[in-house]
Amino acid sequence: MTDESPRTGAAANAAGDAHPAAGEPLLRIEGVAKTFGTFRAVDGVSLDVKAGEFFALLGPSGCGKTTLLRMLAGFEAPDEGRILLGGRDIAQALPHERPINMMFQNYALFPHLSVRDNIAFGLKRSGMARAEIAPRVAEMVALVKLEGLEKRKPDQLSGGQRQRVALARALARRPQLLLLDEPLAALDKKLRESTQRELMELQRRLGMTFIIVTHDQEEAMTMASRIGVMKSGKLAQVAPPRELYEAPRSRWIAEFVGDINLFDAESKLRDGHRLVIGTRDAGTLVVAEPRQPFGDSRFSVAIRPEKVKLSRRGPVSEAGHGTAINVLDGVIADICYLGGTTTYKVKLDTGGTVQASVANSARLDVDAYSLNQQIVAWFTPDDCVVLPS
């Protein structure tokens, strides 16, 4: 451990002396790596997070996202690389020396302290005057709408209330960076959705920087302004939600984020701004030329199910679409009714299958497709993405 200046995290908090220079990111992670035994949990991650961002680290369990978060909080020290907060390298600083706070996955509320004392805990440590603590605690209680529960102990609170206390406690010190480790995992679906909205609103109002770790891609998509997808200790792609969904950089990301139809390519021909691609399972497909050129390596054509349209006879002409349309004939092989949408699995005459997600826009749909019905699936070249395998 390097010899840090004896400055406490609290002082750094209060003075706010670590503000980045204009244009500099608040947080810069440079080539950070961490190995446990022989397992390389985080493998050379570099990332910039700007002040005011709501950043999500998304990935399957064991991908290293929690280890990365714990290195930001100071519970693990990286074996390699630097972590700069406002230009200062904090990689080896102890947790209490960092102007960063964390909301723990199981909340880690102190069971022997009341709601008020839990929230005041970090303030007392920062040497804040007693007279200032009470109003700050009251402000935090109001912020998370827990008025009237200040004297309760954590085991007298519901799951949602506990989550709010944990949030208030972590925010009370006004950290430069708030880390949230699967903050909504313990809540049920309905509560999770309303809490997501509240967290977003809170972050926007306070103008703070949040980094959230989650394995739930819907959660990351809903809340974050940018998402970093992690796989085996590496950042696979960093992009805003829309870009991540519509322009995934690899086949793995496309499959991890949402559902997708993939067709392995066997040949390609250039035709102006389009590529004509021969696939084994879906015949010849016309796709828009990808923005980033790719070599002659193996690749696939990908199309999201909601962009695949179905009809009995063939493509219905829609304004704005070009003439070249991919048309595939097939039979409905499986129907999965999901309420708002219905997913159809279409067995193509060419051998493959394609999934189409259709919105149920009418309550009584006399025209709903039925099993084994002959069908035409179609989609435009612009809706397709070419992905390296």
Binding site for other proteins (CB under 8 A): 1, 8-10, 70, 73-77, 92, 94-96, 100-102, 104-106, 108-112, 121-122, 125-126, 153, 155, 169-170, 173
Shortest CB 67 distance to other proteins, Å: 10
Report how far apart, in Å, the C-alpha atoms of 172 and of each of 4, 147, 168, 199 are.
25, 15, 6, 15
Nearer to other proteins, 116 or 304 (CB): 116
What's the rounded Cα separation, in Å, for the pair 128 and 163?
25
Nearer to other proteins, 162 or 251 (CB): 162
Q: Is 187 helix (H, G, I), strand (E, B) or coil?
A: coil
Shortest CB 173 distance to other proteins, Å: 7
Nearer to other proteins, 11 or 191 (CB): 11
Nearer to other proteins, 74 or 352 (CB): 74
Nearer to other proteins, 117 or 193 (CB): 117
Shortest CB 3 distance to other proteins, Å: 14
DSSP 55: E
DSSP 298: -
Shortest CB 64 distance to other proteins, Å: 14
Which tokens go with 331? 């039979």
Q: 247-274 in b/e burial notation, b at 16+ Cβ within 10 A?
A: bbbebbbbebbbebbbbbbeebeeeeeb
User: Would residue 64 be called left, alpha or beta, if left means φ above 0 and alpha means ψ between -120 and 50 degrees?
Assistant: left
Nearer to other proteins, 41 or 235 (CB): 41
Shortest CB 358 distance to other proteins, Å: 41
Amino acid at site 117: D
Q: What is the end-to-end Cα distance of the chain in Å, rounded?
A: 42
Shortest CB 196 distance to other proteins, Å: 23
Shortest CB 6 distance to other proteins, Å: 11
Bridge partners for 237 per DSSP:
229
Nearer to other proteins, 140 or 227 (CB): 140
CA triple 37-72-65, angle to 5 deg? 60
Shortest CB 36 distance to other proteins, Å: 8
What's the rounded Cα separation, in Å, for the pair 113 and 128?
19
Q: Say if strands 309-311 and 374-379 run parallel, antiparallel, or are unpaired.
A: antiparallel
Nearer to other proteins, 6 or 23 (CB): 6
Q: Note whether 103 and 178 are within 8 A (CB).
A: yes
Shortest CB 112 distance to other proteins, Å: 5
What's the rounded Cα separation, in Å, for the pair 318 and 299?
30
Report how far apart, in Å, the C-alpha atoms of 344 and of each of 283, 285, 360, 375 are.
20, 20, 12, 11
Nearer to other proteins, 5 or 370 (CB): 5
